Each structure stands twice: as C-alpha cells, then as structure tokens.
Amino acid sequence: MFRKVKVVKWTAQRDDIYVSNRKVRTANRAQMASYPTPHDRTRSEDEDDPVDQMISKTGCAKLHYEVQECMAEHQDWRKCQLQVQNFKDCMMAFQNARKEQLKKQFASETL
C-alpha cells in the first residue's frame, strides 16, 4: 500500500515531514541545500557534452556536426536526409567494427 507523504509545516528555516500524520524528520534548509539534486545537470563551461564525447570516440563527429548545422539552417530534419544518412552509415560502420572487436576479444579470453 502506498503511503501519502506531505509536508505539513513549512517555515523559512525547516521542513517538518510527516508520514501518516506521524512526524518522521525535520530537515534544515541548510542541510537540504548542501545535498546535490539528481536533476542538477549543470556543467562548467570547459566541460564537454557527454554526447559529444561519445560521438568523438566513434570518428563520426564531423558528420554529426554537419547534421546539426543542417538542422539549424533548415529547421526541418527531412531536408537533411543526406547528412543524416552519412552520419548513420558512419555510426553503423563503427558499431560493426566494435562488435567484431568485442567478438575477437571474447574469443581470445575464453581460450
């Protein structure tokens, strides 16, 4: 059975948290602010985008940027089919090569 959790008392300094009309915890605002939130996805300016990092490892980054530039220019992905297909072909070639590499690695480890 699900239990309803609600904050009953709220002040500028603390939150009293109740479960089924029973106080279970009091959290100070300072304590709550010190914990990172899971939804905080901010990055510093010098930190690369994780997607860009992954695509760079494939060797397809140039084609990925061509797709992005086309999308920015035309605002319609349907007008960028050549760039999308080129990027897709590059990614498929990388994935196939990686698959073969892993098969060989697995085969050598199991001998």
Give the mean model confidence (pLDDT) for residues 68-83. 94
How high is the pLDDT of residue 34? 56
- The confidence band for 77, taking pLDDT boundaries of 50, 70 and 90, is confident
Give the mean model confidence (pLDDT) for residues 35-46. 60
Give the mean model confidence (pLDDT) for residues 85-97. 97
State which of 14-18, 20-24, 34-38, 102-106 shows the largest mean pLDDT.
Answer: 102-106
Whether the per-residue pLDDT at 9 is higher than 50: the answer is no
Q: Which of 26, 21, 22, 24 is nearest to 10 (CA)?
A: 26
Alpha helices in 8-80 (DSSP H): 29-34, 50-58, 61-74
- Of 17-21, 49-53, 62-66, 107-111, the poorest mean pLDDT is in 17-21
* pTM to 2 decimal places: 0.56
Question: What average pLDDT does the structure give for the chain?
Answer: 77
The span from the CA of 90 to the CA of 98, in Å, is: 12
